[in-house]
Amino acid sequence: MKLRTPISPHIHIRTTVTTVMLRVVAALIPGIVVYAWLFGAGVVINILFAIAVALTCEALMLKARGRPLRPFMSDGSAVVTAVLLAVALPPLSPWWLTLIGIAFAIVVAKHLFGGLGHNPFNPAMVAYVMLLISFPREMVLWAPPTALAEPPLDLMETLRAIFLGHYPGALSIDALSMATPLDQVKTQLGLEQSVAQTLAASPAFGILAGRGWEWINLAFLAGGVWLLRKRIIGWQIPVAMLGALAAMATIFYVIDPEHYASPLFHLLSGAAILGAFFIATDPVTAATTPRGRLIFGAGIGILTYVIRTWGGYPDGVAFAVLLMNMAAPTIDYYTQPRVYGRK
């Protein structure tokens, strides 16, 4: 009789990496549904296409690196990267933009840095920044919410727009798109318009922040809270990041409401919520100690505000995350929790 003699513990909870990753994807679904509802099916098409590209790249890289396919293909990490990047891209992005972005995320940012668990930078954000720098024009062409588009694109038109670059009638992508709310505030401020004037003047703004965006972000928030409750993510990073962002926004808003957007506008526009719950919390690249996570999150919140307000790009979440990724190991080292029985 052969007895097996593994080392303790002999039991294990059922959660696996796959569970963790799939829960993250599941938590993104409400936001994506609202997104598609308000902006058309483009985002869903992008996501599906991105997942297909990501899994292909993942398989090729695993083969090239001589890693077993089965456990790594099913871990779900490539899917998370694909969904996050696809959500961050404009919904009518041409297919090649998604392809280049995902391929870069998986091949370079993930596998060339050592693969799952070893990459120092969030792959989706590395790819996002790469695209922003290489294709600045395509990256800012956001379709307006369907309610504002005349007439809105149907599914076939969306598919044609993404994969063939054909737009209905004589329209071009430029005509179809409009600047995002964050963008507009920034541009108008440059033209000496006050924030309030901008908000009142443009149809792109809704009750709380950017029209449509406010609801998408609330849906992402709901997914994020669910992740917290399922203990897939800790509270420290989202709370610290949103708290720091709101604090910065409040300070400047109180000083000069003419020129600075309100904290609520900052929280519910752009990628703040998505970033706080889904991107900054990427465990591999975030700080890992409890206090370290607070510092890490706060750093992202502050940097996001700084880049949004004074930087050259409309949204700063991606840059802020990457900058703090760099600091994560150092933050961890200096924020070790106090061990039982030690001073």
Partner 1 sequence: MALSGSAGQESGPGVNAKLWRFHGGVHPPQHKAESTGAPVRRARLPKRLVLPLHQHIGEAAEPVVVKGEQVLKGQMIARANGYVSAAVHAPTSGVVLDIGDYPVAHPSGLSASCIVIESDGEERWVERTPVEDYTAINPSHMRNMIREAGIVGLGGAGFPSFIKLNPGPGKVVDTLILNGIECEPYITCDDMLMRERPQDIIAGIHILRHALQAKECVIAIEDNKPDAYRIMSEAVASEEKIRVALCPTIYPQGSEKQLVQVLTGKEVPSNGLPIHVGVVLHNVGTAYAVHRAIHLNEPLISRYVTITGDAMGQTCNLEVLFGTPIIDLLDECAADMARLDRLIVGGPMMGFAMHTVNAPVVKTTNCVLATTTQAMPAAQTAMPCIRCGACMDVCPVNLLPQQLYWHSHAKEFERAQEYSLFDCIECGCCAYVCPSNIPLVQYYRYAKAEIWAQEREKDRADLARRRHEFRIERMEREKAERAARLQKKKADVAAGGTKQKGDDKDSKKNAIQAAVERARVKKEAVTNEADPSSEVEDSDKKLD
**Which CB atom, from 289 or from 309, has the smaller least distance to partner 1?**
289
CA distance 314 to 179: 10
Please work out, in degrees rounded to the nearest 5, the angle formed at the alpha carbon of residue 32 by the alpha carbons of 31 and 35. Answer: 90
Query: DSSP letter at 275?
Result: I
For the CB of residue 331, give the shortest distance to partner 1 in the complex, in Å: 13
**Which CB atom, from 16 or from 250, has the smaller least distance to partner 1?**
16
Structure tokens at 223: 């997914």
**Which CB atom, from 141 or from 276, has the smaller least distance to partner 1?**
276
For the CB of residue 73, give the shortest distance to partner 1 in the complex, in Å: 12
For the CB of residue 137, give the shortest distance to partner 1 in the complex, in Å: 36
**Which CB atom, from 63 or from 118, has the smaller least distance to partner 1?**
118
CB atoms within 10 A of CB 339: 7
For the CB of residue 223, give the shortest distance to partner 1 in the complex, in Å: 18
Phi and psi at residue 205, in whole multiples of 5°? -105, 140
Q: Which residues bind partner 1 (CB under 8 A)?
A: 1, 3-13, 15-17, 19-20, 68, 71-72, 75, 77, 115-118, 231, 234, 283-284, 286, 288-290, 332, 336-342
CA distance 273 to 324: 17
Identify the CA nearest to 91 among candidates 136, 36, 130.
36
Structure tokens at 47: 């996501």
Angstrom CA distances, 29 to 80, 118, 153, 298, stand at 12, 27, 22, 26
Residue written as token pair 């033209």? 191
For the CB of residue 337, give the shortest distance to partner 1 in the complex, in Å: 5
CA distance 152 to 162: 15
For the CB of residue 286, give the shortest distance to partner 1 in the complex, in Å: 7
**Which CB atom, from 16 or from 193, has the smaller least distance to partner 1?**
16
**Which CB atom, from 19 or from 250, has the smaller least distance to partner 1?**
19
